[in-house]
Structure 1
Amino acid sequence: MSFLWEKSQTWRWLVTKTRDSKPFFFAFATVCGVVPGVIGYCVMQLTSSRNPELEAKLRQSARPESMMMSKVNQERLAEYLGELQRKEDTNDRYVAALRGETLTRNPYVRIQPVAKPSDSEAKKEQK
């Protein structure tokens, strides 16, 4: 693929200009970062819908698994934000995740190990 760039006069000019001129480099980098961002933002604004009737219809036709996961995620987020508001130490979340553990819903017991599946359950899953 590089043979296309090496033979292209435009590519060589662009490389030379960005190498030799810091203002050109920063302008080019800004254009490469800002222009796609602006285009993406405009596309998202044009394609998003804030129609409450459409949202209500989509919520009514949602699958039970989606609704359950939404509720679980809301509860976890509320728990985490509550801990941040109370300025509790949340580093144990990361330590627990590294050990393969998860937080409990019991208010007095903060961390519990992940339950290991028994041999009979593992065999059922394999079948």
Structure 2
Amino acid sequence: MSILWEKSETWRWLVRKTRDSKPFFLAFATVCGVVPGVIGYCVMQVTNSRNEQLEAQLRRNARPESLKMGQVNRERLAEYLGELQRKEDTNDRYVAALRGETLTRNPYVRIQPIPKQTDSQPDNKEQHK
């Protein structure tokens, strides 16, 4: 990286201009933010296909496992959003997610507390006493 400011006169000019001129700095920062944003937006528009026939064909050719997972995910999302709408306590979901678990319940059943894990191994502290 030091090659840029040691050897490049263009880099030194750019640093001097941005240091000395606030309008130039703002213009340069805007260009550095807007130009990549515009390019990214254009790429997304070109590569995004909202072709109904293509979507229907992909849905027809989908594997049964994919369809089942989509259905399960929709059901879980509907259950979670319903709980939020009813202002139910959803902290047990966060606890389960931190453990790498997923809570699955019958829809509209009041949230049950997560059962305590039973330790099958004794604590190391007790062994060393």
The verdict on a shared fold, with TM-score over 0.5 as the criterion, is yes
Residues 69-122 of structure 1: per-residue CA shift (max 9 Å, x gap): 222222222223223323334344323322444322232344547xxxxxxxxx
1:60 aligns with 2:60: yes
> Residues 14 and 77 (structure 1 numbering): CA distance in 2 closer, same or farther, change over 3 Å?
farther
Unpaired stretches in structure 1, ≥5 consecutive residues: 114-127
Pick the structure with more strand per residue. 1
The worse-fitting range, judged by mean Cα deviation, of 6-15 and 82-91 is 82-91
* Offset at residue 51 of structure 1 (A): 1.7
Q: Percent identity?
A: 81
Dislocated runs of 4+, deviation >6 Å: none
Distance in 1 (alpha carbons) for counterparts of 2:65 and 2:27:
48
- CA-based RMSD: 2.6
> Residue 108 of structure 1: which of 107, 110, 113 is its match?
110
Q: Which amino acid aligns with 1:29?
A: A
Normalised by the length of structure 1, the TM-score is 0.69
* Offset at residue 57 of structure 1 (A): 0.6
* Offset at residue 46 of structure 1 (A): 2.0
Distance in 2 (alpha carbons) for counterparts of 1:111 and 1:29:
51
The worse-fitting range, judged by mean Cα deviation, of 55-64 and 5-14 is 5-14
Pick the structure with more helix per residue. 1
Partner of residue 21, structure 1: 21
> Residues 48 and 101 (structure 1 numbering): CA distance in 2 closer, same or farther, change over 3 Å?
closer
> Residues 86 and 16 (structure 1 numbering): CA distance in 2 closer, same or farther, change over 3 Å?
farther
Distance in 2 (alpha carbons) for counterparts of 1:71 and 1:111:
26
Secondary structure at the residue paired with 2:102? strand
Normalised by the length of structure 2, the TM-score is 0.68
Partner of residue 42, structure 2: 42
Greater gyration radius: 2
Distance in 1 (alpha carbons) for counterparts of 2:49 and 2:105:
36
Unpaired stretches in structure 2, ≥5 consecutive residues: 116-129
Task: Flag the structure with more relative contact order, 1 or 2, with Cα contacts below 8 A and sequence separation at least 6.
Answer: 2
* Offset at residue 17 of structure 1 (A): 2.3
Aligned length: 114
Q: Which amino acid aligns with 2:10?
A: T
